[in-house]
Structure 1
Amino acid sequence: MNILIRNASIWTGDPSRPRAEAVMVEGGKISAVGGLDEIMSHPASAKAEWIDAGGATVIPGMTDSHMHLTALSRQRSAMSLFQATSKEDLLGMIRAKAEKIAPDEWIYGVRFDNSRWADTTLPTIAELDGLGIPNPVLLLRVCAHIHVVNSRALREAGLSVEDLSGAGVVRDEKGCFTGTLHESFAHPVVEAMKRKTMSGPGEAQSLRETMMQLVSEGITSIHACSAESYGLEENIEACRFLHGRGKLPLRVTLYADHTIPEWIRNGEGDEWLRYGGRKFFLDGSLGGRTAAMTFPYADDPSTKGMLNMDTEDFCAKVRREHEMGNQVQVHAIGDAAIDQFIQAVEGVMDLPLLSRGLRHRIVHAQICRPDQMEKLKKLEAVCDIQPVFVSSDIHITEPRIGKERLGWAYA
């Protein structure tokens, strides 16, 4: 099907000709852009459907460079706690939910933001157990780096409080488990929840619905980030199911922190569904105080956050991926994590450049020192920045890092 869009202000992306008034689309691809007379003389215009844009601005489809697609789809059916105005409000929402569902059904609550509450303390396992509900409860903070569980959820995962250990298991001053699990330490509980609620190709329809919503907003290509270590892996089986039936409505480039069957090198796959490269998570989030800093947090001097990987091990893995021709995509929010990324990229400078102009990517780079900015520029690293952090973190940045370091942050 051919489409001719006219009477439009078309942004071309070409500095020599930034605007045009008409565009020809053939078989779903832009084949010509220019003045109306120019496009009307195009051979395909005779059989094209004409659309009068009424002077509206027209742009090419957008690419979202950082998305957890499957998690987004699942959160659409999860219990949103974003509107909770306090811990008491959140607990009341959970109690009300339990009254409407079966006693064995999981309550999966997402997107709560305790930083906006007067009392910013997280809910505890004691408070969740104190609701007197039989359901397993798993809560995910808005940053996606902190989970809170109740005792039933632990039992469903085959765990007890005594089984838990490690830096991501939060305990109070008496050594009692608070119910909070940082980073990948929540993985066993997340997996237990998913076994009961989510799996395989059966998710394909909900994934397609989520993709169609993105397409309706002008997003025609995404870089999906599969984070198996966080329980946020992409459902590749469902994506392949859709693709095989011609029902994939946008292009998906996958980055993963785990092995993908049949894909080991950048670009494997096709135009619609392909492998982008390896994903690494070096630290956590600013909101959860798990972003790794070189200095103590201003509002909690007992911690500098968490580095998820040993520097030597991370550098070796980046070098191995580079030797295979793969771009890496690296989550790094705190300046200590950014130091690790810089060291790893400096460590591959003796190797040939990646093909097709690819460069290694750092995602977020939220707390970045001036000397690091200069190094990243010199290394020509791709800095993948998320403006959404401005609205979500602007009110917590100064308390977390101190006023004297605000110039290091974009949010």
Structure 2
Amino acid sequence: MMRKIYVNGVIYTFNKIQPIVSAVVTENGIFIDMGESKQMLNFWKDSDTEVIDLQGKTVTPGLTDSHLHLAGIAESFVTLDLTGTNTKQEMLEKIEEKAKSLPPEEWIIGGNWDENLFTEGKIPSISELDHVAPDNPLLLTRICRHAAVTNSKALEIANYHPDMAVPKGGTIVLDETTKQPTGLLLESAKELIAQHIPKRSFADWKNALRKSIQFTIKQGITSAHTNDPFALGGLEQTYQIYDQLLNKEQLGLRTNLLINHEFLDDLRANKMYAGYGNDTLQIGAIKIFADGAFGRRTALLSEAYTDDPDNYGTAMYSEDELINIIRKARELHFPVAVHTIGDQAVENVLNALDKFPTVSYRDRIIHVQVLRKELIDRLRHPSRIVDIQPRFLASDFPWVQERLGTERIQTSYAWKSLLQAGVICAGGSDAPIEPVNPLLGIHAAVTRKTPGDTHGGYNIEEKLSVTEAFQLFTEYGAYPTNEETKKGTIARGKFADMTVFSHHPFEMENPDDLLKTEVDMTVIGGEIKYRK
């Protein structure tokens, strides 16, 4: 590969030896030198060298999203996306418009609705859904992925009857008076409907995922840790699609695949292990769900919900079941990546992990939105990563305060406390649940408010500096995959991955200016994979 010299930049390396330089030299996909532009040109430029002028722009190490769902982003290109819908009526109108564009019997799938944004109206009833889509079965998932709405046509296809067995942890919500389905499905109950949706072809998924990867790179992301086997038809097809897009088509995005524990036997049969693959595509940790989410009060808490005093949330597995799942992962020497939103879920997972020796890769505790001090102490462990999504704050406040109460909210979304305690934290979006744009997550971490809010932020003592927020998505993002010696900072011998910005994030007097900042260029392995 040709040698390249990127010059005239303001390059923040996150490397303590040379924190800021104006030029870097790349060759064969790695950084081989860095320093002042004139010096680098004099020493390294020859007739075969390509010189790229950064025109004074700010550069950071390539951004990592440590937890998203690329297949979910791909869905948004081919399904009904209800992101940002502000009223029940607007949601119904979009469903009706979609239904009119489809032949009878064809499924309407998609989602990302959030009733907390509705300025009028609650979740649509099944009769309202039947009215706007009488001839099309539908399944529309809530933005948190822990609830969905469906209609009578879909229930008919699923052969619904009152005594129907519901998957463990799931609920078909019934009307209190009629005892008939309301159309709302919680947690795993949506699988009763989802299993009847015709599967997309390999080519359909490949084309949609190509758009998803290209869109993600456009956001300045050079590495992504994604969880997709259920969406993409299992372990083998998931790996095959990514292999064709990343290794054969060389789209560029460095991708680590989190594999749901239900596919452990498939991993064994395919002789795959943690780290299987190459620097572009790797098998990662085993994904487990320990609890639900705040939206439907299914996140598992040690004390009841303030606005629902008899409800503590939902444990997806018993203590013994959780231990057995982790044991099975450890038999194959896999780390685990566990969805844990409530403090009791965090405690349950830590109790289970304490029963097993560590493996060569770090375990991840994902989300960690409610904490107690003693749990922070237990999370400070060299083989444990807390995988946080700062953008959740912008979506969850102010309504989450009603769920948790004034006292408990003080130890929720407590990122500063985690970092100060020495806990290793990596930043992600959980896209498409939140926008994939990492600058929105960085803005939430720095301001602790929703864009447009005029107050000073929620729990301002937990605000991060701009540098700390960027570290979540750069330096610390390399730790979950044991790649801190390969990427995360700009240093000699590391992957030549960089993100170039239109504005200067580290020089902004008003952090809201982050919202005006765009990605000008995404560089992966020294190659420009996106340029505005």
When the two structures are superposed, what TM-score results if normalisation uses the length of structure 2? Answer: 0.71
The aligned counterpart of 1:163 is 164
The answer to whether the 8 A contact 1:110-1:140 is kept is yes
C-alpha change, 1:237 and 1:4, in structure 2 (3 Å) is same
Deviating more after overlay: 156-165 vs 79-88: 156-165
Matched, 1:296 2:304: yes
Task: Give the equivalent residue in structure 2 for 1:211.
Answer: 213
Post-superposition CA distance 1:271-307 (Å, at most 9, x none): 2111112110111111121111222222233422211
Count of aligned positions: 404
The equivalent residue for 1:256 is 259
Q: Equivalent residue for 1:308? A: 316
State the Cα deviation string for residues 198-221 of structure 1 (Å, max 9, x = none): 232432122112111111221111
Matched, 1:331 2:339: yes
The question of whether the paired residues in 1 share the 8 Å contact of 2:139 and 2:148 is answered with yes
Residue in structure 1 matched with residue 224 of structure 2 by the alignment: 222
2:193 is aligned to 189
* 2:350 is aligned with 1:366: no
1:175-223 CA-to-partner distances (Å, cap 9, x unmatched) read 332221122221232232242xx23243212211211111122111111
- Where does residue 10 of structure 2 map in the other structure? 9
For the 8 Å contact 1:345–1:379, the answer to whether it is kept is no
Deviations 1:116-169 (A, max 9, x none): 224563222232123362111111111111111111112333444542546422
1:40: which partner in 2? 41
RMSD: 2.5
Residue 41 of structure 1 and its aligned partner are, at CA, apart by 4.3
**Match of 1:13, SS?**
coil
After superposition, the Cα gap between the structure-2 partners of 1:121 and 1:45, relative to the gap in structure 1 and judged at 3 Å, is farther
Calculate percent identity across the aligned residue pairs. 30
Task: Describe how 1:17-32 pairs up with structure 2 within 5 A.
Answer: 17-32=18-33
Contact preservation (8 Å) 1:187, 1:230: no
Please say if 1:397 is aligned against 2:405.
no
SS state at 1:279 partner: strand
Q: Which amino acid aligns with 1:184?
A: S
Match of 1:10, SS state, is strand
- 2:353 aligned partner, one-letter code: V
Contact kept, 8 Å, 1:39 with 1:45, in 2: the verdict is no
| Unpaired runs of at least 5, structure 1 | none
Match of 1:124 in 2: 125
SS at match of 1:300: coil
- Higher mean C-alpha displacement, 143-152 vs 377-386: 377-386
Greater mean alpha carbon deviation, residues 101-110 or residues 380-389: 101-110
Q: 1:291 to 1:309 in 2, by over 3 A?
A: same
Name the aligned partner's letter for residue 355 of structure 2: G
Conserved? CA contact 2:99–2:132, under 8 Å:
no
Change (3 A) 1:230 1:123: farther
In 1, Cα distance between the equivalents of 2:229 and 2:189?
13
* TM-aligned CA distance change 1:379 to 1:305, over 3 Å: farther
- CA displacement, residues 13-35 of structure 1 (integer Å, 9 cap, x when unaligned): 21121111111122333222222
What TM-score comes out, normalization by structure 1 length?
A: 0.90
Amino acid at match of 2:22: E
Q: 1:161 to 1:144 in 2, by over 3 A?
A: same
Q: Which has the higher contact order (CA 8 A, sep 6+)?
A: 2
2:148 aligns with 147
SS of residue in 2 equivalent to 1:187: helix
Contact 1:2–1:25 (8 Å) recurs in 2? yes
- Is the CA contact (8 Å cut-off) linking 2:99 and 2:133 kept in structure 1? no
- Larger CA deviation: 221-230 vs 272-281: 221-230
Kept after mapping to 1: 8 A contact 2:273/2:334 = yes
**Are the aligned partners of 1:70 and 1:232 in contact in 2 as well (CA < 8 Å)?**
no
Task: Check 1:232–1:126 CA distance in 2 against 1; reply closer, same or farther (3 A cut).
Answer: farther
CA 1:232–1:130 in 2, change beyond 3 Å: closer, same or farther? farther
Give the deviation of 1:89 after TM superposition: 2.2
Question: Does the Cα contact within 8 Å between 2:274 and 2:284 map onto a contact in 1?
Answer: yes
Determine the structure 2 residue equivalent to 1:376. 379
Instruction: For residue 107 of structure 1, report the CA deviation from its aligned partner.
Output: 1.5
